[in-house]
Amino acid sequence: MVDIVLISPPSRMDNHYRPPFSLLYVASYYREQGMSVKIADFPFTEHIRNPTFWKNRSAMVAQSKAKMLNEVVVNKPKAVGISCYSTELDEVKELISDVRRISDAKIVVGGIHPTLKPEDFNGIADEVIRGRRDNGYACWDLIDMKHYSTPNPYAIRGVMISCGQVVSGFGCPSRCKFCVSSTLWEYFKGEQKPAQVLYDELVMLKIKYGIKGFFIIDDLYTINKARIREFCSLIKKTGLVWACAARCNTLDEETIKAMSKANCIQLDFGVERGSDRSLKELQKGITLQQIRNVFMWCKKYKVRALANFLVNIPGETQQDLKDIEKLIMEIKPTITLINVYQYYLGCKLGKQEASEELLKWKRKYMVKVNWRNALKFSSIWHSRIDSFQTLSLLVKEGLNQLCGR
């Protein structure tokens, strides 16, 4: 018997080796209260998006769900905690109903949707948690780290490596109109882990679980240059390669140079649009010149640069797409991802369905620009990660997956 069992919706088990961070941190809170905790986590072992995967996906989701419910039966918890995104609302309601049928445990829900719209769980859940509830550390021992440390190309994109994924801080203070994070800032902002604390966690993951690299999954890790440089001075002696998400207006040449020397091999940027006008309309807070600068510095210091672009914005014109194409050809990202805007609860932009014509353009253009760069950067990737095997997502099934086929 345990005091609480924590569950993610079964559809999240298609997680590309990303641990259930919300549950890992919530578990630390309950442990600090003296409670015994179990995380019922059963991720898929098949990840390549080929026809067989899609044929079997529903069955795999059902299998994961059955295992989760069995954990509730076996452990007889006093409470069951469930995380919920807005896209998972119906799934979570069904999951709550399933738990009710097999247990009299108290049902607690938390996450983004309960934070933004708690009334959706009136009469359904016993308690709704808004915002964060954690004590700043992850309970790695509660999940199958043999699985999550399996070499895979999904953390540092395209690099086949045993890779830890870590959180060093929560939330993003930027005001981008297309992003839910700006609405969630008042709930999910929090102190970033000191550089030494993050370093100690990564050393533990290296020693205990054998990771060779890591990805910092913060919405925005590069918010504090002094902290970055302190972290770089610590982490470079571990030999771990790493990557993180960044904003173009938070970095300068010296910081990128320091990150490169500390074995940072990739930075993921949200570029989004191809003109200063459209960037301003989205309240992105960056300029084309800032974008040009960071991509130039990344090339100079041999750091792979991933560029995310966003299409299907309400009021979008063909000129906006041409501006994106022009900027891609100018900055030449290592990997280019073109994402289709979709409205979620908390977004400041309205809803808009993507046309089939736009989706076809997205797929064709991503294939074009990524094939062009694949061979050009392959020698750099190998030299930067020593003897670790490099696998590009830009070939065969990986390219199809990258392009959303």
- Decide if 300 contacts 294 (C-beta within 8 A): no
User: How many Cβ atoms are within 10 Å of 122's Cβ, its own excluded?
Assistant: 8
136, part of any domain = no
Same domain membership, residue 332 and residue 194:
yes
Same domain membership, residue 155 and residue 87:
no
Same domain membership, residue 202 and residue 262:
yes
Q: How many domains does the chain have?
A: 2
d(CA 377, CA 390): 11
Same domain membership, residue 168 and residue 99:
no
Same domain membership, residue 116 and residue 171:
no
- Decide if 403 contacts 394 (C-beta within 8 A): no
Angle at 131 between CA 313 and CA 124, to 5 degrees: 95
137, part of any domain = no
286, part of any domain = yes
Give the CATH number of the domain where residue 86 resides.
3.40.50.280
- Decide if 256 contacts 244 (C-beta within 8 A): no
- Domain limit, last residue, from 129, 162, 192: 129
One-letter identity of residue 248: C
Same domain membership, residue 122 and residue 28:
yes
- DSSP string over 21-39: HHHHHHHHHHHHTT--EEE
One-letter identity of residue 107: I
pLDDT beneath 50: ranges in the chain: 375-405
Same domain membership, residue 153 and residue 119:
no
312, part of any domain = yes
- Decide if 78 contacts 62 (C-beta within 8 A): no
- Domain limit, last residue, from 99, 129, 159: 129
Same domain membership, residue 163 and residue 25:
no
Determine the pLDDT at residue 171.
82
d(CA 244, CA 339): 18
Same domain membership, residue 159 and residue 125:
no
Same domain membership, residue 273 and residue 340:
yes
d(CA 82, CA 344): 20
- Decide if 175 contacts 285 (C-beta within 8 A): yes
204, part of any domain = yes
Secondary structure (3-state) at 78:
coil
CB within 8 Å of 40: residues ≥ 6 apart: 5, 6, 7, 67, 68, 71, 72
Q: The pTM is what? A: 0.89
Determine the pLDDT at residue 374.
52
350, part of any domain = yes
Paired with 307 in beta bridges are: 269, 336
Same domain membership, residue 154 and residue 112:
no
> Kind and range of the H or E element at 73?
helix 51-75
Helices (H), 151-275: 181-188, 195-209, 225-235, 253-261
Q: Read off the pLDDT of residues 62-80 as tens digits, 9 standing for 90 and up.
A: 999 999 999 999 999 999 9
Q: Exposure of 299 by Cβ count < 10 A (0-12 exposed, 13-18 middle, 19+ buried)? A: middle
- DSSP string over 180-202: THHHHHHHH--PPPPHHHHHHHH
d(CA 82, CA 90): 13
One-letter identity of residue 263: N
143, part of any domain = no
- Decide if 162 contacts 150 (C-beta within 8 A): yes
Determine the pLDDT at residue 103.
97
Query: Of 297, 375, 308, 302, which is closest to residue 335 (Cα–Cα)?
Result: 308
What residue numbers bound the domain in which 89 lies? 4-129
Phi first, then psi, for residue 228 (nearest 5°) are -60, -45
Query: Of 301, 312, 293, 313, which is closest to residue 404 (Cα–Cα)?
Result: 312
Determine the pLDDT at residue 399.
46
Determine the pLDDT at residue 384.
43
Paired with 246 in beta bridges are: 269
Give the CATH number of the domain where residue 391 resides.
3.20.20.70
One-letter identity of residue 375: L
One-letter identity of residue 304: R
Same domain membership, residue 68 and residue 153:
no
141, part of any domain = no
Determine the pLDDT at residue 378.
42
- Domain limit, last residue, from 101, 129, 157: 129
